[in-house]
Amino acid sequence: MTIQFNDETFRDDYTFRNSEWAIKRFPFPFHEDSYMYSVNMERHRGGPDGSVYAKRFDVDEHYIAEMRDRALVLADDPLRCQSLPHMTLAGWDLLELIMVSKSEDYPDLFELHRDGTTWRWVNKPLGIDDTFTFMDEASLPYGPMEYITRQTQGDFAVLDQRENNLWMDAGMVTTQADWSLDFDIGMNFFEWHAPVPLAHEMGVFKRALKFLLNVQQDSPARRLNWTMTVNPLLDTSPENYHKWGIQKTTLTPENVGRKQHLRVELQTFYRLPRSNALVFPIRCYLIALEDLVTVPKWGRRLHRVIRDLPAELATYKGFIDNRPIILDYLSRFDDGLPTSPGI
Ligand code: HEM
């Protein structure tokens, strides 16, 4: 399949748009009419052709624009990418995982040629053709994690595993839903999840950690998470809250369909071979409500989910003040018909 890459922005004039193809394959996250936190994890065994689950690192029409946006964020704030000294080996593991996966899954876009430790990496969409020595940092323009994640959509947290816990000791985080790598660096699984309401009491994090500590090589896992974002912003970081937080106050009944976006994260979990680290890619998909409601069962269901979401979750996810405007809009697409389980 040939991908037509969009020329678009996730800031300023917000020319971001989803094609019909992107709308059709959007990972709508609700399999019933209500939502509550749970240990919603499953094996990541791929998915139907064309779906966002089909490839290990999904490349879509937003690829070039997302990589451009990441470069802008990093130029402004280099601390969005950090790797503690003991995580370099995990960075090489990650570079290998992504290069092998992308060259196998998208041979028309990416090529990897290996001759011993001499590797040649060709990234056609970004116009990159680099030859380097595997495991020799001096042969790349950036550290291995930074090099490859500047070329891969989604955020990346790279977790060291020790003392029966996971530690956020490296990451590339420029498209996050209001959390900060610079704040979380060096924290463990319970510490960085501390702000999440209700889930600790429900035992969600204890069970999730147990699952993650046992993820094996070649047996990745996945889950979906979601939130709401006004304007198609990738960078909704605490560092830049002064720029995007205020935009939430611009929502009106007239512009809500165009401005309000459902933000879905496809989160995957891979065990890395040499370092035994766990990598956590967080891939963000945005869809405007006016595009979402073109699929009638999505519009109907989203209305019910948002209407019945506990206030603690709507507050944490940052849209409690805008919930009435969003509900007014979505209610027009809810005909009251029963929905069937599943997506
Ligand atoms: C939220 C990281 C795995 C459930 C978060 C936050 C971070 C994070 C940084 C934001 C916390 C804040 O407000 O500052 C990670 C990392 C993981 C991981 C690095 C991989 C090791 C999981 C797993 C679950 C989970 C396996 C399974 C249930 C949640 C939930 C939230 C959350 C429910 C709140 C999200 C929302 O309501 O939008 N996570 N997480 N996380 N995480 Fe994780």
Range of the domain at 85: 20-331
First to last CA, the chain: 25
| Tens digit of pLDDT at every position of the chain (343 positions) | 589 999 999 999 999 999 999 999 999 999 999 999 999 999 999 999 999 999 999 999 999 999 999 999 999 999 999 999 999 999 999 999 999 999 999 999 999 999 999 999 999 999 999 999 999 999 999 999 999 999 999 999 999 999 999 999 999 999 999 999 999 999 999 999 999 999 999 999 999 999 999 999 999 999 999 999 999 999 999 999 999 999 999 999 999 999 999 999 999 999 999 999 999 999 999 999 999 999 999 999 999 999 999 999 999 999 999 999 999 999 999 999 988 888 7
Distance CA 53, CA 44 (A): 8
Which residues, including other chains, have CB under 8 Å from residue 118's CB and lie 6 or more apart?
Answer: 131, 132, 133, 134
Q: Which residues line ligand 1 (CB under 6 A)?
A: 37, 39, 41, 157, 159, 166, 168, 177, 179, 184, 192-193, 195-196, 199, 204, 208, 212, 223, 225, 227, 280, 316-317
Q: Say if 9 falls within a structural domain.
A: no
Q: What pLDDT score does 1 carry?
A: 56
Q: Say if 13 falls within a structural domain.
A: no
Q: What pLDDT score does 2 carry?
A: 85
Which residues, including other chains, have CB under 8 Å from residue 297's CB and lie 6 or more apart?
Answer: 339
Residue type, 214: N
Nearest CA to ligand 1 atom 28: 39
Q: Say if 11 falls within a structural domain.
A: no
Q: Say if 194 falls within a structural domain.
A: yes
Q: Say if 14 falls within a structural domain.
A: no
Q: Say if 339 falls within a structural domain.
A: no
Q: Say if 129 falls within a structural domain.
A: yes
Query: Backbone phi, then psi, for 179, in 5-degree steps?
Result: -140, 165
Measured CA to CA in angstroms, residue 333 lies from 61, 308, 329, 336 at distances of 28, 16, 8, 9
How many domains are contained in the chain? 1
Distance CA 152, CA 158 (A): 14
Q: Alpha-carbon Rg of the chain, whole angstroms?
A: 20
Mutate to test the pocket of ligand 1, among 225, 268, 284, 306 (most ligand atoms within 8 A of CB): 225
Distance CA 272, CA 60 (A): 25
Q: Say if 1 falls within a structural domain.
A: no
Separation of CA 195 and ligand 1 centre (Å) = 10
Cα 53 to its chain centre, rounded Å, is 13
ipTM reported for the complex, 2 dp: 0.98
List the 165-172 sheet strands across, edge first. Answer: 42-43, 221-230, 260-271, 278-288, 155-162, 165-172, 81-83
Distance CA 234, CA 143 (A): 23
Please check whether residue 56 is in contact with residue 99, taking contact to mean a CB–CB distance below 8 angstroms.
Answer: no
